[in-house]
Amino acid sequence: MTNLLSIIEPIIDWGTSPKLDIPNKELVLKQTLISLYQEYLAIADNTPADEKEYPDPPDFNFEKISNTIRSNFPKLGFYQIILDPFEMTKPDTELGDANDDLSDIIKDLMEVQWRFQNTSEQDALWYFEFIMRNHSERHIVNLLKTLKDLEEEL
């Protein structure tokens, strides 16, 4: 599963390495998020849980991740979400936060990476599929839409 790790590591860098000097950062971010999503779709519902008991992962500092992302993507901020996209008369909206989306994705991926290094490949893959299905997938979709909307704004 070296392909998954090779995708995860540069995404994690966005939240751990301030002011990365990478041309076309937004495009690179979109490409890596799409690659991550493809990996998830390739293994979805295919990975059995590892039944062994392992130690809990460390607590990755969300605020530090968020601040580092802000240094790499200062334009990532708030956007509107339509709560029920099938409500055609007067849909309710709320605010989303692209920085928060990427911070959540990175924090989840840091745990996946930690599991590869400290538990088993099966446990890491199971957790990756679980966290994508239940948490990160929505953040990726929202973030990709936001990046597209920012692109059109320029």
Q: Give 11-70 pLDDT, tens digit per residue.
A: 999 999 999 999 999 999 999 999 999 999 998 777 889 999 999 999 999 999 999 999
Q: 100, 66 in Cβ contact below 8 A?
A: yes
- Given a cut of 90, whether residue 153 has pLDDT beyond it is no
Q: 36, 8 in Cβ contact below 8 A?
A: yes
Range from 54-58, 89-93, 114-118 carrying the lowest mean pLDDT: 89-93
| Dist. CA 81–CA 69, nearest whole Å | 21
Q: Say which CATH class 2-153 falls into.
A: mainly alpha
